[in-house]
Amino acid sequence: MKYRITHETHYTYSKPVTSCYNLAHLSPRNSNRQVCSSSSVNVQPGVANSIERDDFFGNKVHYFTVHTPHDSLTVTAVSEVEISHPGNLLDAAFPIPWNEVRNTLMRSARSEDMDARQYLLESPFVSLNPDLHKYAQASFDSGRPVLEAVHDLMDRIHNDFDYDPHITTIATPLSEVFAHRKGVCQDFAHLAISCLISHGVPARYVSGYLETIPPPGQKRMRGADASHAWFSVYVPDFGWVDFDPTNNQIPMERHITTAWGRDYGDVTPLKGVIFGGGKEHKLNVSVDVEAMDNVVV
């Protein structure tokens, strides 16, 4: 599938900002099933300095600064990507039991396996928690094939937790998300990662977009999409497999990957510091994921 994604972030400040320094993860990266053919990041007012580079995880990151006084900041990223279907993973995947994953990795000298070991560790947003470990145990019967176990975990998170954008912020600790059984996609991804690494399964955080399909008979609404997040697990000798606990599905062709890392903090879409700006900021984000098959080129 081919998509054009338009991601617009709009900040308005109660007082002028004299300068700002920002870091953006807004351009989709390439992977073995995704090619980003073009991507641009536009900043209003104009930037004083803008640099694009690859970060530690191989994601594309934009650094930019603005030194013109401004009351509002608009960052618009427009990208085109093509995604290929992963095939039917659950059938194709190796039936390696989840409880052998860690030992397999520890014994292996293969660079992919060594690399995956960093995703077994805690990170600023993902800590180990005995309650979560206990919660996850129900999915991890000894000897169960790893992808089956993870799928079951995803399924349970989807059913046990309510999607509620008004309960948590990005600073809400996992213990609270777990206590409320409520949260948003970031929370579910972090929560799942904590469950997985406590069982020795490497897991990482993926940020991106999901194409939304309008209900039958209705027209697609422009800008109604949102940025999205899910997680990915590593299976030795096979590679990374994505899971979307918010929608209870294995991402196929409709999930566009922007960046991956240990957690949200590694791949925050837009962060930075501002000088001035007053006490109040208003943030408006609009995302449009447009299937290119419908676009007359």
Partner 1 sequence: MTASGNSMSDPTPTASMDDPALCKSCSFVQDVHNEMCDKPGKLRPHWEYFGRALDAMGRDELVRRDREARRLIRDNDVTYNIYTDPQGIGRPWDLDLIPLLIGSEEWSSIEAGLVQRAELLNLVLEDLYGPRKLISAGILPPELVYSSPSFLRPCHGIQREDGRYLHLYAADLARTAEGEFQVIADRTQAPSGAGYALENRIVLSRVMPSLFRDSHVHRLASFFRTMRNTLNSLAAEPEKEPLIVLLSPGVGNESYFEHAYLANYLGYTLVQGGDMTVRDGRVWLKTLDSLQQVDVILRRVDDEYCDPVELRDDSFLGVPGLLQVVRDGKVTISNPLGSGVLQNSALMAFIPQISRYFFGEDLRLNNVRTWWCGREDDRKYVLANLEQLVLKPSIAVDKQRTIFGANLSAEERNELIHKINARPYLFTAQSQVTLSAAPVLQQNASLDSRHVVMRSYLTAQDESYIVMPGALTRVSATRDSFMVSSQHGGASKDTWVLASEPEKQDTLIMPTPHAVQKNPLGGDVPSRVADNMFWLGRYTERAEGIVRLLRVVQLYLADSPLDSASEPRSLFALHQLLRAVSQITKLTPGFIGQDADQRLASPEQELLSVIVDRSRQGSLSQTLSALLVAARSIRDRLSMDTLRVINDIDVELNSIQQSVMHHLNDADDELDNLITALVGFSGLINENMSHEQGWRFLEIGRRVERALHTTTLIRSTLTFASKQVEYSELLESVLRVTDSLMTYKRNFLQGFEVSSLLNLTLLNEANPRSVGYQLLRIQEHVAYLPVDRSSQQLSAEERLILELLTKLRLSDLADLVSINEDLSSRVELDRMLEHIQQQLSVLSNMMTTAYFQKEEQIQQLVRMRPGSAE
Residue 65 contacts partner 1 per CB under 8 A: yes
Candidates 26, 81, 93, 125; binder of partner 1 (CB under 8 A) is: 125
Near partner 1 by CB under 8 A, which window of 86-94, 249-257, 273-281, 288-296? 273-281
Which residues contact residue 69 at a Cβ distance below 8 angstroms, ignoring those fewer than 6 apart? 16, 17, 18, 276
- Give the pair of three-digit tokens for residue 193: 């990662």
Distances (CA, A) of 283 to 238, 270, 280, 291: 41, 11, 10, 26
Residue 187 contacts partner 1 per CB under 8 A: no
DSSP code, position 278 = -
> Phi then psi for 287, rounded to 5 degrees?
-125, 135
How far, in Å, CA of 14 to CA of 276, rounded? 9
Of 27 and 186, the one with the shorter C-beta distance to partner 1 is 186
Residue 265 contacts partner 1 per CB under 8 A: yes
By the 8 A CB rule, do 38 and 111 touch? no
Element (H, E) at 275: strand 270-276
> Phi then psi for 120, rounded to 5 degrees?
-100, 0
Residue 11 contacts partner 1 per CB under 8 A: yes
Beta strand pairing call for 182-183 and 162-163: parallel
Residue 165 contacts partner 1 per CB under 8 A: no
Candidates 121, 138, 213, 224; binder of partner 1 (CB under 8 A) is: 121
Candidates 51, 92, 138, 213; binder of partner 1 (CB under 8 A) is: 51
- Give the pair of three-digit tokens for residue 276: 């001035």
Q: Give the three-state DSSP class for 145.
A: strand
Q: How far is the CB of 180 from partner 1 (least distance, A)?
A: 13
Near partner 1 by CB under 8 A, which window of 28-36, 59-67, 81-89, 289-297? 59-67
Candidates 81, 174, 192, 289; binder of partner 1 (CB under 8 A) is: 174
Of 64 and 161, the one with the shorter C-beta distance to partner 1 is 64
Residue 120 contacts partner 1 per CB under 8 A: yes
Residues that bind partner 1 (CB under 8 A): 11, 18, 20-23, 48-49, 51, 53-57, 63, 65, 67, 109, 111, 114-115, 117-118, 120-122, 124-125, 127-129, 170-176, 263-266, 268, 270-277, 281
